[in-house]
Amino acid sequence: MPLSGSDLLVTARAAGVGVGAFNVIQIEHAEALVAAAEQVELPVILQISENAARYHGALAPIALATREIAAAATIPVVLHLDHAMDEELVDEAITLGFTSVMFDGAHLPWAENVDRTAAVVRRAHDADVWVEAELGQVGGKDGAHAPGVLTKPNEAAAFVAATGIDALAVAVGSSHAMTERTATLNLERIAEIAAAVQVPLVLHGSSGVADVAIAAGVQAGLTKINVSTHLNKVFTAALRESLRDNESVVDPRKYFGAARAALTAETARLIRVIHG
């Protein structure tokens, strides 16, 4: 099936449902995420971050493999570049066939964030690629995790209007890289932002948010729900268990296969939770 674009999130927002967005680090991730989405017959967003590209030494190898897996899927799949601060990487992703990119200028002063994001939007839209941006710093990456960093509805509306972005990542109480699901979402702020802007809202740091809170966040106005650390915990736990139970194994397909199967099962469960 051809890769999907922004219409997937626009449709989901109109229906009041969520779409799961999960990070690809290795090819097993991409295979598991697509298999999970096909099991539950719901769309999925495959994300490759700037950090993952650095891990592989370049974006193209993991991106091209992921694109082929996504294109062969029987359900709608978006291929998304996650948390890119490097504009050259954004341009490369567009060239490689990504249907969605995130330019993360949340750390920049307002005017510079607006100018650089708007420039990315113009280039991406020329290639029929949609753009996500962030306003308000989601905790975990730079230690920002306090009420003062929450996204303000009026600023969100102004930012969307000034840049022309297609989706907005908001700071509403979650934090990146949490290994316990104890974050508290500000549902009132989510609803206020959703009423102020006309584009889908994105929740980063969702690994630290419990199922019931994710569902409540979608009901309040979130559409794209990003999960990475939680699924990496599942993947790693299954790999460790496989190695512990099979000490003589030397074939990576054995333990990576077990990890991939566990990741598929948990992703399928999460997709259902997020969709509602």
Q: Which residue has the higher pLDDT, 139 or 25?
A: 25
Lowest-pLDDT range of 159-168, 183-192, 257-266: 183-192
- Binding positions are 83, 104, 134, 176, 204
Residue 263 above 60 pLDDT? yes
Mean pLDDT of 173-189: 68
Query: For the chain, which residues make up each domain, given as ranges?
Result: 7-275
Please give the share of the chain, as a percent, with pLDDT higher than 70: 90
Predicted pLDDT of residue 102: 96
This prediction's pTM: 0.92
| Structure confidence by residue, pLDDT tens digits, 13-61 | 999 999 999 999 999 999 999 999 999 999 999 999 999 999 999 999 9
H or E element, residue 130: strand 130-135
Considering the segment(s) 7-275 as one domain, its CATH architecture is Alpha-Beta Barrel (3.20)
Q: Which residue has the higher pLDDT, 148 or 49?
A: 49
Other C-beta atoms within 10 Å of 226: how many? 26
- At 167, the amino acid letter reads A
Distance in angstroms (rounded) separating the CA atoms of residues 155 and 193: 9
Side-chain-side CA neighbours of 224 within 13 Å: the count stands at 33
Q: Tell me what the pLDDT averaged over the chain comes to.
A: 90
82 is an active site residue: yes
CA-to-CA dists, residue 148 to 52, 107, 173, 247, angstroms: 29, 14, 10, 50
Catalytic residue, candidates 82, 115, 126, 142: 82
- Binding positions for Zn(2+) are 83, 104, 134, 176, 204
Q: Which residue has the higher pLDDT, 228 or 147?
A: 228
Mean pLDDT of 228-252: 95
Predicted pLDDT of residue 185: 82
Mean pLDDT of 183-202: 91
Please give the share of the chain, as a percent, with pLDDT higher than 90: 77
Residue 142 above 50 pLDDT? no
Residue 170 above 80 pLDDT? yes
- Residue 17, SS3? coil
| Structure confidence by residue, pLDDT tens digits, 69-127 | 999 999 999 999 998 999 999 999 999 999 999 999 888 888 999 999 999 999 999 99
Distance in angstroms (rounded) separating the CA atoms of residues 6 and 45: 11
Residue 18 · residue 224 · CB < 8 Å: yes
- Nearest alpha-carbon partner for 275 in 8, 58, 26, 55: 8
**Which token pair is 245?**
């139970």
pLDDT band at 180 (very low <50, low <70, confident <90, very high): low
Predicted pLDDT of residue 151: 86
